[in-house]
Amino acid sequence: MLRDGFPGERLHVLPRPLVGEALKQPLTERLLVTDAGYFPHAEHHGRRRPQGARELIVILVSDGVGWIETPKGRVTVSTGQVVLLPPGTPHSYGADSASPWSIWWFHATGADAGAHLDSLQERLRDEYVLNADAATVAPLFEAVVAALSVDETRASLLAASGAAWHVLAVLGTVAAPSRGTSTHSAIESICEYLRQHLEQPTKVPALARRAQLSASHFRVVFRRTTGVSVVEYVRRLRMARARFLLEATDLSIAEVAASVGYDDPFYFSRQFRTVVGLPPSQFREHSRRSETGARNST
């Protein structure tokens, strides 16, 4: 198993004393990239860590094939898949002998790394692999490597941290579980349908049929994918649209309510106040007063 030596590789590892110092500083204490690199066509590449790593390991397979092995078993990974190995997870991984992988990777530590990993658990489903579009996420991984490779100043560490934060956030929105991808795609399709039909009643059985799922299973996977129930998801969409209409148009409260699916303007007003904290009329007045003040100050 080789550590480096791949033609065209990029690799940067922070010295441990610097890691310790950075973890005591504001911002980098939340998320710090300690190692990052790119191994193209990494023939014979591999690692074995019986005790796991101290950091979260994130690997994007941008081309080729590889494998990972954990206490849960051994799986093959290929182009577009992302491996996330939590700290302390015993593992080994390597390139396929026939079609060696090319990988972008980084190690990250800090409270935000753990928080991102927690938020991804619904998608990971106790696994370690997500599906993503390599063309979409590879530039984000490259930004992590590029930032860490500049130098070891605080500015570069912050840039790498920000790029890693971006990667993890994007994985939380665009990546799909390595299993059940068709179900994930069905839920994404339903979300797009709801965004395009805010004014229509929300009927879970009909949405479940559209997704070709039972109503009970649909409710479970929708919450697992979005983090909220169908009703709450639609309510948030409607209130976001209502805020825009109140700020940007002269539609009456009743007209705004109707345009986002509420026949009863009084019920709409109660829902709006619950979400936004102000009745629609006060929200409009406040937003326009703020806009006028901003114009007068420029």
Residues 16 and 127 placed together within one structural domain of the fold:
yes
SS3 content of the chain, % helix, strand, coil (to 5): 50, 20, 30
pLDDT, position 182: 65
Higher pLDDT, 292 or 153: 153
* Phi, psi (rounded to 5 degrees) for 192: -65, -40
For residues 209 and 163, membership in a common domain is answered with no
Count of positions (residues) in the chain: 298
- Residue 178 is predicted with a pLDDT of 46
Burial tier of 230 (Cβ tally within 10 Å: 0-12, 13-18, 19+): buried
| Residue where one domain finishes, among candidates 136, 162, 177 | 177
Residue 3 placed within a domain: no
pLDDT in tens, 207-258: 999 888 899 989 988 887 777 899 999 999 999 999 999 998 999 999 999 9
pLDDT of residue 293: 55
Tell me: do 165 and 251 sit in the same domain. Answer: no
Note down the domain range covering 36.
Answer: 10-177
268 in the same domain as 142 = no
Q: Does 2 score more than 50 pLDDT?
A: no
Q: Are residues 47 and 132 in the same domain?
A: yes
Position 295 confidence tier, pLDDT thresholds 50, 70, 90: low
pLDDT at 3 over 50: no
Whether residue 103 sits in one domain with residue 40: yes
Give pLDDT, residue 122: 65
Residue 176, H or E segment? strand 176-177
Same domain for 132 and 32? yes
Is residue 123 scored above 80 in pLDDT? no
Q: Are residues 166 and 187 in the same domain?
A: no
pLDDT tens-digit series, residues 249-287: 999 999 999 999 999 999 999 999 998 899 999 999 888
**In terms of domains, do 252 and 207 share one?**
yes
Convert the pLDDT of each residue in 18-74 to its tens digit. 999 999 999 999 999 999 999 999 998 999 999 999 999 999 999 999 999 999 999
Same domain, 14 and 138: yes
* Residue that terminates a domain, selected from 177, 212, 242: 177
Residues 153 and 210 in one domain: no
